Amino acid sequence: MSGYSDVNRWHKQLNGSLVILKKNIFLYYMKSPVLIFGVLFPVFFFLAFKMGRDISPGNVVPGMVAMALWFSASAIGPLVTPWERGAKTWERLISTPISLRSILTGDVLSGFVFGCAISVIPVVLGLLLTDARIMNLPLLIGGILAGALCFSSLGVLLSSPPAASPSNIMLLSNLVRLPLLFVSGIFVPIAQMPAWAGWIAPLSPLSYASALIRASYGSVPYFPAWLCFLMLFIFTSVLFTISCRFHRMYRAKGL
């Protein structure tokens, strides 16, 4: 009887997370800040990276995929939670029978789905408009899935400060995401970076997702694939655990 009760409780929590995912898809995916910070940002960085430089499509396309995944997957959390706090729907949400962890899981899934969907666009455009070719499709899919889950967990963590305005959270978000972007090997290979940047690069989860995506296009990765998947799993677990603690702490303080 206890086993059935546990299964029923887990099913209820999972269903709650999926409901939040559905809610976020219909309410927030097409909001202008989500599209600006999740879609236009990587396009602008791509143009700044590519224009005036003789770079092969084999380097441009993987970098564009990684940037699209980085910005889109991490954009949902920092925008959704402040919107709901400002609209006073966050209090209603956390008073429902589902746990805070399940609510945050729904937000992580929202960023995960959004990041995976957006990252498909540069993959398809790269195949249609350039001579870049995917050499290892399972590795590309695995890199996108693992990266999207990790980056979405980072976005949920960044949404934990009690701010009712998305602009405040996005300022904090960009203070974290932009430095990690520049040391991740997207623009300059990690092996060619200064020594100090090479020491910082392993601290960025984007470094590992970028390595997997580049390897799927035939480039020699700076990190081995097994290490990339392991580190993305560790980053995801740590980021989600910390985000749950921070959200719970602010909730206990009534913030």
Rounded to an integer, what distance in angstroms lies between the CA atom of residue 60 and that of residue 132? 9
pLDDT of residue 233: 96
pLDDT of residue 240: 93
pLDDT of residue 53: 60
Q: Is 168 exposed, middle or buried (CB count within 10 Å of its CB: 0-12, 13-18, 19+)? A: middle
125 or 28, which is more confident?
125
Mean pLDDT of the chain: 82
76 or 229, which is more confident?
229
Percent above pLDDT 90 for the chain: 22
Full 3-state SS string of the chain: CHHHHHHHHHHHHHHHHHHHHHHHHHHHCCCHHHHHHHHHHHHHHHHHHHCCCCCCHHHHHHHHHHHHHHHHHCCHHHHHHHHHHHCCCHHHHHCCCCCHHHHHHHHHHHHHHHHHHHHHHHHHHHHHHCCCCCCCHHHHHHHHHHHHHHHHHHHHHHCCCCCCCHHHHHHHHHHHHHHHHHCCCCCCCHHHCCHHHHHHHHHCHHHHHHHHHHHHCCCCCCCCHHHHHHHHHHHHHHHHHHHHHHHHHHHHCCC
Confidence category of residue 145, pLDDT binned at 50, 70, 90: very high
pLDDT of residue 101: 87
11 or 58, which is more confident?
11
Rounded to an integer, what distance in angstroms lies between the CA atom of residue 224 and that of residue 208? 9
Averaged over 19-41, what is the pLDDT? Answer: 74
